[in-house]
Structure 1
Amino acid sequence: MSSATGQARELDLRELKRVCSNCSLKELCVPMGLNRGEVERLDKVVEASRSLHNGDHLFRKGDPMRSIYAVRSGTFKSYVINRDGEEQVIGFHLPGELVGLDAIHPDHHQCSVMALDTASACIMPFSQLSELAASIPGLQRQIMRLLSKEISSMVPRAADTTAEERMSGFLLDLSRRLGERGYSTSDLRLSMPRKDVANYLRLATETVSRVLRRFQDEGWIEVDRRDIRIVDSTALKSMVKGDDGEAQ
C-alpha cells in the first residue's frame, strides 16, 4: 500500500470513528440522554454513510433484514408493488429519520426504499445494535419509540377525506418534520415529484396540481415549481380533520 493510500485510509477511519458524535442529526435518530461513553459505543456500530443517487435503492422488498438505516442527507421514498403491478408510495423519509424498522419482526423488508435525489444513509447492523440496546436502556427505549411512531404512520388515510384535506395534511406534516430538523416550516422544497405525492395521497397528479392552484389562489401558499411557501398555515389546518384542528 502506498503512503498516500495509507494516509487516506487512516483519515477515512478517523472520520468514521465519530459518526454519531459529530452528526448534527444525532438528537433525532439516537437518544438525547446518552452519555459520551454510550455515544462512542454507538459510533463503533454505525457504518459508513452510504451515498446514493436518484433511483438507487437502499433495499428492496423481500431483502433479508440486516441493518437499520438513518437518513443522513437527501430524501427517500418507500413503496410497494400491488397485485396489478402498480407502484404504491407509502412514505417519504427525511434526514434524521430511520428506515428499515418494518423488517424487524418478519426478518425481511416489507417494502422497497429508493433515493429521490442525491442522498446518503448511515448503516446500523441490527444484530450489533440489538446487543448494544440490551445494555443501554436509553437506546432500547428510543428504538421502541421509533417503532411505535412508524406503526402509527402506517395507519391508512381515511378514504372519506377530500383532496384538499389530504393535501393540507401532507403540507403540514412535511412542515412539522422539517421544523424538527431545524429547517424553515414555511419554505418547503418538494424533493419528490408530484406524481409521487399524488400516488402517496391516492389522488391523480392533475388533482394535486389543481388543489395547489386553489390554495395559491386563496393566498394560503405560494408555488414555484417544487418550491412551496406556506403563507397561511391556519387556513391549511382548518382543512384537516382531526382533534383540536391538528393534522393527523
Structure 2
Amino acid sequence: MDAQSIKVACSSCNLRELCLPMGLNPDEMDKLDNVISARRRIKRGSALFNTGDRFTSLYAVRSGFFKTCVTTADGRDQVTGFQMTGEIIGLDGIVSDRHSCDAIALEDAEVCVMPFDQVEELSREFTTLQHHVHKIMSREIVRDHSVMLLLGSMRAEERLAAFLLNLVQRLHARGFSQSELILRMTREEIGSYLGMKLETVSRTFSKFVEEGIIEVKQRYVHIKNTEGLRLIVNPPTCP
C-alpha cells in the first residue's frame, strides 16, 4: 500500500471541528492527540483498505477525496459512497472486524489514523467522544437511507440533482463555494453510485446545461440555478 506515516496533533488541526466533537477540555484533547498520532498519505488510485482486510482503525480524511465500492457477484464494481475532507471512513469494518468494501483515493489524499480499540476505550472515559462516535454512525445510517430512497423512487433527473445538491452542501460546510465544484469522480462512477448508465448520466448533465441550471466544463460544474435543482428533487405539489 502506498502510504506514509506522519506525526500530527488534533489540537492544532484546522479540521478538528469537522471530525472531532466540540467541547473537549485540554486534558481530553491531549489524550486524543496520543491516540490519533499518525497520518497516512494515499496516492490517487491506491487503496486505503480493501474488502477482507482486517479492521483496526477508523480514518479521518484530512485532504483529498475517496470512493468506497464493493464488487458484485458478476464482477462489477458498485460505488457505495464518496468521502471528502473531514469525513470518517472505515465504519464498515466494525461489524465483523473485516472491511466489507474497498476505499480508493480519487486524488492524492491524506488521512488521520484512529486506532479503533483506543478510540473505543477513550470514548468510555469521556462521554463527549462516545456521543460523537454514535453521531457519526447515525449519520452513515441516515445517508444509507437517503441513497435507498434515491435509487428506489427517483427519476434520473431527480437522482443527479439530489447528488449535486448534496455534494455542494457538504463542500460548502468545509468552506468551499455554494455554487461551484470540481467533480473528483468520473461520470461512470457517478452512474454506478446513482444506479444510472453512463449514457443516462451524460444525457442528464446535458439536459441541465440546456435548461440553464448548470454550466459544465469537463469536471468543473457551476450551479447557476440552485433553486432549479431543488425544484427537480422536490417539485411543487398541486393545491
- Which of 214, 218, 221 is equivalent to 1:221? 214
Deviates more, 1:57-66 or 1:140-149: 57-66
2:38 is the counterpart of 1:45: no
- 1:243 & 1:20 partners in 2: Cα distance? 45
The partner residue of 1:191 within 161, 184, 191 is 184
What is the rounded CA distance, in whole Å, between the counterparts of 1:65 and 1:124 in structure 2? 11
Match of 1:92 among 82, 90, 96: 82
Aligned match of 1:20 in 10, 23, 27? 10
Task: Output the CA distance in 1 between the equivalents of 2:61 and 2:74.
Answer: 30
1:179 paired with 2:175, answer no
One-letter amino acid matched to 1:119 = A
2:114 is aligned with 1:124? yes
Unaligned stretches of 5+ in structure 1? Answer: 1-12
Range moving further from structure 2, 118-127 or 31-40: 31-40
Instruction: Evaluate the alpha carbon distance shift between residue 144 and residue 242 of structure 1 in structure 2; reply closer, same or farther with a 3 A threshold.
Output: farther
Gap change, CA 1:242 and 1:33, over 3 Å in 2: farther
Could you say if the C-alpha distance between residues 35 and 242 of structure 1 is closer, same or farther in structure 2, counting changes exceeding 3 Å?
Answer: farther
Question: Do 2:151 and 2:195's aligned partners in 1 also have CA atoms closer than 8 Å?
Answer: no
Match for residue 159 of structure 1?
Answer: 152
Structure exhibiting the larger radius of gyration computed from Cα positions? 1
Give the ranges of 4+ consecutive aligned residues of structure 1 lying more than 6 Å apart after TM superposition: none
Q: Which amino acid aligns with 2:115?
A: P
Contact kept? 2:18, 2:86, Cα under 8 Å: yes
Tell me how far apart the structure 2 counterparts of residues 237 and 222 of structure 1 sit (CA, whole Å).
Answer: 16
Alignment of 1:228-247 (within 5 A): 228-241=221-234
What are structure 2's unaligned runs of at least 5 residues?
Answer: none
Shift of 1:242: 9.0
> Does residue 70 of structure 1 match 2:70?
no
Which SS does the other structure have where 1:120 is aligned? strand
CA distance in 2, matches of 1:166, 1:33: 37
Write the distance in 2 (CA, Å) between the matches of 1:43 and 1:242.
47
SS in 1 for 2:152: coil
- The letter of the residue matching 2:39 is S
What is the alpha-carbon distance in structure 2 between the residues aligned to residue 71 and residue 44 of structure 1? 18
Aligned letter for 1:190?
Answer: L
Q: Distance in 1 between matches of 2:142 and 2:96?
A: 18
How many Å separate the matches in 1 of 2:103 and 2:118? 22
Question: What is the CA deviation profile of residues 175-216 of structure 1, one whole-angstrom value per residue up to 9, with x for unaligned ones?
Answer: 110011111121111011111011111111121111111111
Aligned partners of 2:37, 2:29: CA distance in 1, in Å?
Answer: 14
Counterpart AA for 1:86: R
Change (3 A) 1:210 1:49: same
Which shifted more, 197-206 or 67-76?
Answer: 197-206
Amino acid paired to 2:171: L
Calculate the aligned-residue CA RMSD, in Å: 1.8
Match of 1:168 among 161, 171, 178: 161
Match of 1:33 in 2: 23
> Equivalents in 1 of 2:228, 2:25: separation in Å?
43
One of 201, 205, 208 as aligned partner of 1:208: 201
TM-score by structure 1 length?
A: 0.88
Distance 1:117 1:40 in 2: 31
